Structure 1
Amino acid sequence: MAPSQGPVSTTASTCTAETARGRHRFKIAGYSLHKGPAAGKFIRSATFYVGGHGWSIRFYPNGHTSKDDANKNFICVYLELMAEKNTTEVRAAYDLSLVDQLTGESKVRFNPMKPRAFTGEIPAWGARTFIRRTELEASTYLREDRVVIECNVTVIMAKLEGKAQLTTCDFQAPPSDMSVDFGKLLKTGEGADVVFKVEEETVRAHRIVLAARSPVFKAELYGPLGDKNRGIILVEDIHPDVFKALLHFIYTDSLPAMDDVDGRESKEITQHLLVAADRYGMERMKLVCASKLSKRLDADSVSATLALADRYSCSELRGACIRYIISSNTMDEVVASRGYKELKRACPAATVELWEKASKSRKILYAEQRDIFIEELD
C-alpha cells in the first residue's frame, strides 16, 4: 500500500546566546615616564564590569617580554579577567583601539575573529604587536604625553546547548534630534532677545543659548556690561557669513555644510571660523576646524597653516603641520614657499620647534633602518 501523500507538518526553534556589552577607556598620562628598558612590565587600568565580571586593560609600554626580540619595538595591550585562579571559563569577544586625541575618534588596532576563553589560569588575551612605538609617537594618538586605549567587551552569558533558549527583545531609540530643533530655533528667530549688527546685516539670537555655549558671550550679555548690551550689539572684524556659521555651531554643535563652495574657499572659511572660535572661547569648534584643516595640508599652504595655529595657540593643528612637513617628501618645496618666509618672520618659536622635531625624526628613522639592517644580517 502506497504511503500517504498528506501535508507535512513543519516546526522551527531558535537558540540564541545572551550577551552583555561594555566599553572602557584607559587614559595613560605621562606616557614618556613609563618608557624604559624593562620589558614585560605593564600598567593596569581600573577594574570595570561587564556581564557580572571584573575586567581591566594591561598596557605594556616596553613590550611583552624581553625574550622575544621581534616584538621589542612594539607597544603591547591585553584585556584581563580580574578573577581568582579557580574561576570557571568566561567566554568573551573584544577589540582594542587607540583614540585619536585630535578628533576623539577611535580606531580598532586589534580584533580577534573568535571569542576567547578567559579563566583563572589564563586570565588575559591581547596583542603583542599592538602598535610600533615609533608609529605611536609620531601620531595624533599621543598628545601632551597622553595615550588613550579603548576596549569593547562582549561577554557571552549563556552556552549554546541543544534546547532553545529564551530570546530577549531589544530595540533602540531614534538618534537625538536636539540639534535639529535648536537649528530651527536659530533659523526662525522665535523668542530671540538679542540683535547683532555685523557689517550691514542684522542677526537675531537668544541670550541664554549663547551664554550657555560661549564664556565670551556670557560675559558680554550677563556680565557687568550686560545691561548696556540690551540694544543692538555691534560686531567688528568678522564677516557676516562667518558670524552666522559661528552661531550655527553654537546652536547645533556642527559646522554648516559647505557643499556649494570649492576646496580653496572652503579652506579659507574654515580658517576664519577657527579664528572666530578662538575669539569666542569655543574650544570644541576650534578643534573641529583644526581637524578639517589638518586633512587639507599641502606644501604651498602648510607654513601659513602652521603660523595660524601658532598665533591662535592651537597645539593640535601645530603638531599636525609639523608632522606633515617632516614626514613628507616636500620639505624643499615648503622651505621655498612664501608662507615659510612669513612663518620665520612672524613665528620664530614654531620654526625652531619644526627643525628640532625634524632632527629627532631623522634620528629615529636612522635607528629603525639600522635595526632592520642588523636583523636582515642575522
Structure 2
Amino acid sequence: MSGGTYVEPSFERDTTYITDRITVDGAGDGSGDGPWPVEAGRYRLVVARACPWANRAIIVRRLLGLEEAISMGICGPTHDADSWTFDLDPGGVDPVLGIPRIKDAYDKRFPGYPRGITVPAIVDVPTGVVVTNDFPQLTLDLSTQWREHHREGAPDLYPQALRSEIDEVNRWVYTEVNNGVYRCGFAGTQSAYDAAYERLFTALDRLEARLLNQRYLVGDTITEADVRLFTTLARFDAVYHGHFKCNRTKLNEMPVLWAYARDLFTTPGFGDTTDFVHIKSHYYEVHRDINPTGVVPAGPDLSGWAQPHGREALGGRPFGDGAPPGPPPAGERVPTAHNPHVGDDGLVHT
C-alpha cells in the first residue's frame, strides 16, 4: 500500500516515490540510476492483493496481457512496521527474487531506505534492486511503453485523444475518493473526520451523477480512470464503510455506482483479481490504531457482486475494438474461498 502517515489532526499521505521509469528507449525521466529499458522477462512486479494501489497494477497487467513479459510476486495481506513479506510462498521467500520481504530490494538499491516500503513496486531481477514504486506512473507506462508486449486485442487504457480528460478525472478521484476514504479513516479529530466525511460523499454523489447516463468515466470504453476508481469501490462495503467510518451509505445503497462497480467486477480483469479475504485481513489486522483487537468481521454479505447490472443499455464497448483477456495463469488465480464469484478457471461467473 502506498505510504501514509498519521498526522494530527488529519491524514496526510507521503507521496514521495521512486520516480524512475521503464521506457522503450531506457531513458526514463532522466532522474534515476537506469537505464531501465523495456525488456520482457527482466522485471518483476511485486504486489499485494489487499492493497488498492497494487490492485490497479494487477488489473492493468492482466487487461494488457503482460503476464509473460513481466512476472509477478504476491505478498501476503499483512505486514509489520518494516515491510510487506512473501509469506504466501514456500519458505516465505519469493521464488524469483530470493528475498523474504520487499524491503530487501529497496535496501539493495538505497541502503537504509528512509521512506515507506510500498507496493506496487517493480524490481530489476538481474540486480535485485527496486526500480520504481511510483504507482500512478507505473500503470500508465504499462499502457504506453510496453505496447510491443501487449496481448492481441488488448484495450487502449490511456488513449491519446482522451488523456487530458482522463488525467483530470484521475486527479479529483484520487484526491476525493481513493485518498478520501483514508482521510476519513485516519482522522485524528472530530472536525477533521466531519470535513473528510462530507468531502468524500460529495464526490461519490458527483460520480453518481456523472455515471447515470454514461457507462464509463471517460469515453465509451474502459480506461485507466475506471481501473483507479474500481479498486476503491471494491473495498467500500467490505472495509471502508465500517473500518474507516465511511458510513453514510454502503456502495450497494448507491444505485448508479453499485451497478457501475458490478459491471466492472464481471468484466475479466477486475473481479477475478479481487481477493476479499486478503482485503479484510489487511485492513482489520494491520490497522491496530483503528482496530486494536485485530478481529476481522465475518460480514458483510458479498454475494451481490455478480448480480445483473443492466449497464449494457448505456452502450459502450468495454474493450473497444479489442477483446477480453482469457483466464489468468493458474498460479495467479484468486482462490474461490477468497471470492465466491471466482470459478476454478479463475474467472468471475455470474
Settle same-fold status: TM greater than 0.5: no
Which of structures 1 and 2 has the bigger CA Rg?
Answer: 1
TM-score of the superposed pair, with normalisation by structure 2? 0.31
TM-score of the superposed pair, with normalisation by structure 1? 0.29
Name the structure where strand makes up a greater proportion of residues.
1
